[in-house]
C-alpha cells in the first residue's frame, strides 16, 4: 500500500499508471510489477505499508 503524505507522484501498478497527490493512495498486489516516480520537481513523501502474502 502506498499513501501520499505530501506532493504528487506517478504510480505504476502492472500496466496502469496514475498520478496521486496528498491523501490519495493505491495498492500493489504481491508479485505485481509496481513503482513510483516523482516527475513534479517538488518534494514527494510516501508512506509504504508492506505485509507478507497471506
C-alpha cell at 12: 505504476
Q: Which domain holds residue 2?
A: 1-21+31-38
What average pLDDT does range 10-21 have in this prediction?
Answer: 97
Q: Which residue reads 501498478 in cell numbers?
A: 13
Residue 1 within a domain? yes
pLDDT-derived band at 30, boundaries 50, 70, 90: confident
Q: For residue 2, how many other CB atoms are within 10 A of its CB?
A: 19
Residue 51 within a domain? no
What average pLDDT does range 18-29 have in this prediction?
Answer: 96
Residue 53 within a domain? no
Residue 44 within a domain? no
Domain total of the chain = 1
Question: How many angstroms separate the CA atoms of 47 and 54, rounded?
Answer: 21
Sign of CA dihedral 20, 22, 26, 28: positive
List the alpha helices (DSSP H) in 1-54.
none
What average pLDDT does range 19-39 have in this prediction?
Answer: 95
Residue 11 within a domain? yes
Per the DSSP assignment, residues forming a β-bridge with 12 are 17, 35
Residue 26 within a domain? no
Amino acid at each position: 500500500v502506498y499513501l501520499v503524505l505530501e506532493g504528487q507522484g506517478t504510480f505504476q501498478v502492472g500496466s496502469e499508471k496514475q498520478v496521486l497527490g496528498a491523501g490519495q493512495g493505491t495498492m500493489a498486489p504481491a508479485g505485481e510489477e509496481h513503482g513510483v516516480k516523482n516527475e513534479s520537481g517538488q518534494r514527494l513523501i510516501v508512506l509504504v505499508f508492506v505485509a507478507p502474502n497471506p
